[in-house]
Structure 1
Amino acid sequence: MLKSLSSAVTWGLAAAAAAGALLTGCSSEAKLPKDELGDTVAEKLAAQTGQPKPDVSCPEDLAGKVGTTTRCKLTASDGTSLGVTVKVTSVDGDKINYSIKADQ
């Protein structure tokens, strides 16, 4: 149990400070597909923590509108999981900038 708690805390601390940006395909409204979003969030968290890339799944595409949020689920290699909120902070054409915050 201690290992699980430690892993969850590590991911939570890393995700609280994480931010990301990704270019999306051409369309009238920027949108980030849920699979790309989950993969990008996982890569950023792994890079920040030096831990293995977690599994991050998101239930929906992220619309490129400031203030839009979605909830994703992070599952670490030891099986612990955390909710992760992804919030659009700005949009510049097809580029969606977002913040990432894990549950405590």
Structure 2
Amino acid sequence: MTRTRAFSGATTGAALLVLFLSLTACGSTRDYVQEKTVERIATEQLTNAIGVTPENLDCPGDLEGKVGTEMTCVLTSDGEKYDAIITVDDVDGGRVHFKIDVPPNAAE
């Protein structure tokens, strides 16, 4: 299986629990997961689920810790770009669970 075909149509709903980061100095809590943390964990989970590591996964910003929040990142594999849709499907206390879906069509 080629690397590109491995990612096309891939979905992983693995338990991706990420602790919310708290900003204690200001006495507030940020209700999102930082962009770089989402990219790192999503890359790890895609690699574990498919057995192939993407060349790059670039998300447009931080992921809001709210059920139903969706963000489209761009996954690059063998020079091809694909949408990688990250969706928050559970928030439990200070943890966010999100799933990753890579539809079979290449990103524009």
TM category (shorter chain) comes to 0.7 to 0.9
Matched to 2:48, the amino acid is A
Q: What count of residue pairs does the alignment treat as equivalent?
A: 98
**Higher Rg:** 2
The match for 1:42 is 43
Q: How does 1:62-73 map to 2 (within 5 A)?
A: 62-73=63-74
The match for 1:89 is 89
Q: Which has the higher helix share?
A: 1
Alignment RMSD (CA, Å) = 1.9
Tell me by how many angstroms 1:90 deviates.
0.8
Identity between Structure 1 and Structure 2 (%) = 27
Secondary structure class of the residue paired with 2:67: coil
The match for 2:25 is none
Tell me by how many angstroms 1:53 deviates.
4.4
| CA-to-aligned-CA distance 1:12-37 (integer Å, 9 cap, x gap) | 34x31343221121253431111111
Q: For structure 1, which runs of at least 5 residues remain unmatched after alignment?
A: none
Q: For structure 2, which runs of at least 5 residues remain unmatched after alignment?
A: 23-27
For residues 30 and 93 of structure 1, what CA distance do their matches in structure 2 show? Answer: 11
- Runs of 4+ more than 6 Å apart: none
* TM-score between the two structures when normalised by the length of structure 2: 0.78
In structure 2, do the counterparts of structure 1 residues 86 and 7 end up closer, same or farther at CA, with 3 Å as the change threshold?
Answer: same
